Amino acid sequence: MSGADLDDELKQDDAVAAEAEAESPAPESESLDEENRLKPEFVRNVMDALDEEDSDRVYELVEPLHPADIADLFELVNEDERLQLARSIRDLMGVEVIAELNDWVRELLIEALPADVVAEIAEQLDTDDAVAMIEDLDREDQQAVLAELDPEDRAAIEAALSYPEESAGRLMSREFVAVPETMTVGDLIDFLREHRELPTEFWEVFIVDAMHRPVGTCALSWILRCPRNIPLYDVMSRDQTLIPVDMDQEEVALRFQKYALISAAVTDSAGRLIGQITVDDIVHIIQEEASEDILRLSGAGDGDINEPILITVRARLTWLCVNLATAILASSVVGLFQGAITRFALLAVLMPIVSGMGGNAGTQTLAVVVRAIATNQLTDSNTVRMILRELRIATANGAALGLLIGGGTTLLFSNPLLGAVIGAAMVINNLVAGLAGILVPVTLDRFRIDPAVSSAVFVTTATDTMGFFSFLGLAVLTGLA
């Protein structure tokens, strides 16, 4: 615990420290609300100024904002005002704003710019941000931008683009610090002071052997605290997590999380150090991948509220059509029992309860299992145990709901047989829901299909058809209708 000791140290310098920095460093409150979002009034003022084509006023309003807030502002104004906003604040559109922009908004702006301006921006960005900026451009525009880059940057970006999308190769930055293990702490500090072209911010130094293969890492905090004469191989940590360049970004994120990494070395197939990935990019990926699971489970495609509406409609409609097929399948099960329904219409009234509750129970299990798979909590080692666990839960919930709805039905309609039928159907459908909820995603995962994308259709099909079939089938079997 260092707080107390430091306090003492600080007091010695009270007098001088007091005079500087009287102004408050707190986030400026005219534009941001208490949750750190741009205030609606502020956004409206900007939009009004844009409407009036008052570029000076726009500039004046936007100028005090942090780059990340300027990026947010682009999302909050109307689509047709975004280009105008960019023109009004041209010299505020630094690389930090560009890097923070939502993909769709950035694409809109980038496409409106001439290739040489895009190239100029790309040259100022780290490789990974430059790649993110141009990877979604169509082939022709991409080539035009690449042609404008200076050869070194072009080579770096082309190399990154040669790796698969969402792989470590796209994510890594080629700016990093790597030194031989023969250096001492003092050599390293001198090296850092002399080399101005190093990245502005880095958190670890990679130590490499003669073949440029990483052999250890050194946190800057250790270097700062060691005497100059200590050799790096005495302070470095040999326990490093290396990221192969073709690793999927989701896997990379899981490793960062598991080993609490700040940065990690990326290696090529020969084991040579070719880049680094830093945790600030990983934070975005974790958010992205988790959002993806929610959105895919519900069939909402990428679900970005800034994507062009036609893309949204197409993504959602595709999913709805797949679900339409399963709805028709379930409905055809009901069709088998039209005679029974004509004789006893109450069956049609109650049947949505059985199918709907099964659907809810299946969705619960599915959500838990999909997340457990995504976070490596559910592996081959505990699959069987988890299936048994879900069955026990389904039995308990099925029994409870079956008794509740069976009892209620018996009392309400004075019909014990109807109560028994709906109760039994509820138990059966809860078991179907629990089993489908875990077996479907686990099976898809075995076949390397993303369980978040396609599980829900199968699970709903199972609970809908089995819900109708068990309830209506039992009604006919028991002579109820």
- Binding status of residue 270 toward a second copy by CB under 8 A: no
- Of 83, 95, 348, 387, the one binding a second copy (CB under 8 A) is 348
Place of tokens 């978040």: 452
- Binding status of residue 43 toward a second copy by CB under 8 A: yes
- Binding status of residue 80 toward a second copy by CB under 8 A: no
Question: How far is Cα 440 from Cα 420, in angstroms, rounded to an integer?
Answer: 30
From the list 87-95, 106-114, 140-148, 175-183, the region that binds a second copy by CB under 8 A is 175-183
**Interacting positions 375-414 with a second copy (CB under 8 A):** 375-382, 385-386, 389, 392-393, 396-397, 400-401, 404-405
What 8-state DSSP symbol labels residue 27? P
- Binding status of residue 119 toward a second copy by CB under 8 A: no
Q: How far is the CB of 248 from a second copy (least distance, A)?
A: 9
Alpha helices in 12-113 (DSSP H): 14-19, 40-51, 55-62, 67-76, 82-88, 95-100, 103-112
- Binding status of residue 186 toward a second copy by CB under 8 A: no
Q: How far is the CB of 140 from a second copy (least distance, A)?
A: 26
Q: Dihedral through CA 283, CA 289, CA 295, CA 296, nearest 10?
A: 180
Backbone angles phi, psi at 275, to 5 degrees: -175, 175
- Of 109, 125, 160, 334, the one binding a second copy (CB under 8 A) is 334
- Binding status of residue 443 toward a second copy by CB under 8 A: no
**Are the C-beta atoms of residues 237 and 221 closer than 8 Å to each other?**
no
- Binding status of residue 94 toward a second copy by CB under 8 A: no
Question: Closer to a second copy at the Cβ: 114 or 349?
Answer: 349
Total site size for a second copy, rule CB under 8 A = 189
- Binding status of residue 144 toward a second copy by CB under 8 A: no
From the list 51-59, 103-111, 140-148, 312-320, the region that binds a second copy by CB under 8 A is 312-320
Q: How far is the CB of 171 from a second copy (least distance, A)?
A: 14
Beta bridge partners of 248: 167
Question: Closer to a second copy at the Cβ: 87 or 212?
Answer: 212
**Interacting positions 193-222 with a second copy (CB under 8 A):** 193, 195, 197-203, 208-212, 214-216, 219-222
- Of 82, 106, 170, 174, the one binding a second copy (CB under 8 A) is 174
- Binding status of residue 424 toward a second copy by CB under 8 A: no
- CA 187 vs CA 86, 224, 265, 285: distances in Å: 46, 13, 22, 36
Question: Closer to a second copy at the Cβ: 114 or 211?
Answer: 211
- Of 107, 128, 148, 464, the one binding a second copy (CB under 8 A) is 464
Place of tokens 């489970």: 297
Question: Closer to a second copy at the Cβ: 113 or 154?
Answer: 154
- CA 75 vs CA 52, 146, 214, 229: distances in Å: 20, 27, 41, 52
DSSP 100-130: HS-HHHHHHHHHHS-HHHHHHHHHHS-HHHH
Contacts of 166 (CB under 8 A, 6+ apart): 248, 249, 250
Query: 397-429 b/e with 16+ CB inside 10 Å = b?
Result: bbeebbeebbeebbeeeebeebbbbbbbbbbbb
- Of 121, 366, 427, 442, the one binding a second copy (CB under 8 A) is 366
Place of tokens 């995504």: 374
Question: Closer to a second copy at the Cβ: 117 or 314?
Answer: 314
